[in-house]
Amino acid sequence: MSTKLKNKTIPKNWQQKQFVDCVDLVSQKKLKGFKKNEYKKSGQFPIVDQGQSFISGYTNESERVSNDVPLILFGDHTRIVKYIDFPFAIGADGTKLLKSVEDINTKFLYYYALNLEIPNTGYNRHFKLLKSSTVNIPPIHEQKKIADILSAVDDDIEKTDEIIHKSEKLKKGLTKELLNKSNHLKKTKFSSLVKLRKEKSKIKNNFDERYIGLEHIEQEGGRLLGCGKSSETKSINSVFKKNDILFGKLRPYLRKYWKAKFDGVCTSEILVFEPRLECDGDFILYLVQSEQFIQHSESKSFGTKMPRTDWKIISEFEIEIPPPERRKKIAEILSTIDKKIEINKQIKNKLTELKKGLMQDLLSGDVRINKIYA
């Protein structure tokens, strides 16, 4: 059996309300919110605002900290939704703090708000759209169970994120140590390891080759996010071959690098490095993502708004290059960590998709808790 309200079918014994009737707005006058220039990098209490990062800064000023939790934070400009269940200080303007009313579980309502599709109207106020949204509310015991299930998935996502973070930190430290480990070797220029591939693909030959733009390369991760077709571009592109190393010369601090797994063409904003020794491909990939290589590329880049590096700058980069066998070993060690990072990123993606599906099913009542536990 089900009840139909406002053209939406909901299960029997569920209620349908407007979001505004499910919450009380918390006054922020006594909290004395912090301005961004007052945020500290560390401190006893976290500062929470409407930014993407869950915690934006810290403070030690206990008199400006709220213990009135749990509650929901909504970013009036950003549409960011956060669940806060710890003592906190409020950050820059643009946040709404919401307490759920009696008989509504705060975390259940948080997930409901998270699942709502509030349209982006630019840098305007969005709370009025949240307030007028419809909420389908099950009995309180079912609300709690739904919140518990979604929280369990969130906990797994957080644990996986922590593994990724620790692995990336380990990789960064090992990269620095392995590349800087001195064996009293003479410093050698980067150009002794690679050649710049200068071949261009003429516009008339731009048919259906796979095309890589800067937007197709993940920042810092070295993963390919997708690719286009050369026929869709109007400019002359650079040619790359399988096992070449691609490096974004526009804003090198973005760390756009990728080891080619196929032949294709790319934007001229990407430099294409051809390893002089085929076995050096992985070593060069880790070398171009090292801190010293990025710093060298940045320090001598040119242009104010859109800084670029070029082959002349990069070719002059010097490093103590170990023998081929050691280069191979360094690449193998770092590759092992990369594989662990990639596996956990895939796990995180699957968990995120699982959460998305559960939110759709549980919050709509399409799947009932008693069926999950049956």
Interatomic CA distance for residues 276 and 283, integer angstroms? 12
Which pLDDT tens digit goes with each residue over 182-239? 666 788 999 999 999 999 986 555 567 899 999 999 998 899 999 998 888 878 889 9
- The structural domains of the chain, ordered by start, are 2-137 (3.90.220.20), 186-321 (3.90.220.20)
pLDDT at position 31:
84
Average pLDDT, the chain: 91
**Beta bridge pairs of residue 99:** 24
Judge whether residue 300 has pLDDT over 90.
Answer: no
What DSSP assignment string belongs to 237-296? EEEE-TT-EEEE-BSGGG--EEE-SS-EEE-TTEEEEEESSGGGHHHHHHHHTSHHHHHH
Confidence of residue 1 (pLDDT cuts 50, 70, 90): very low
Whole-number CA gyration radius for the chain: 26
* Tens of pLDDT, residues 170-182: 999 999 899 887 6
pLDDT > 70: percent of the chain: 94
Instruction: Give the model confidence (pLDDT) of 65-91 as tens digits.
Output: 999 999 999 999 999 999 999 999 999
Give percent helix, percent strand, percent coil of the chain, each to the nearest 5.
40, 25, 35
Res. 346: pLDDT tops 80 = yes
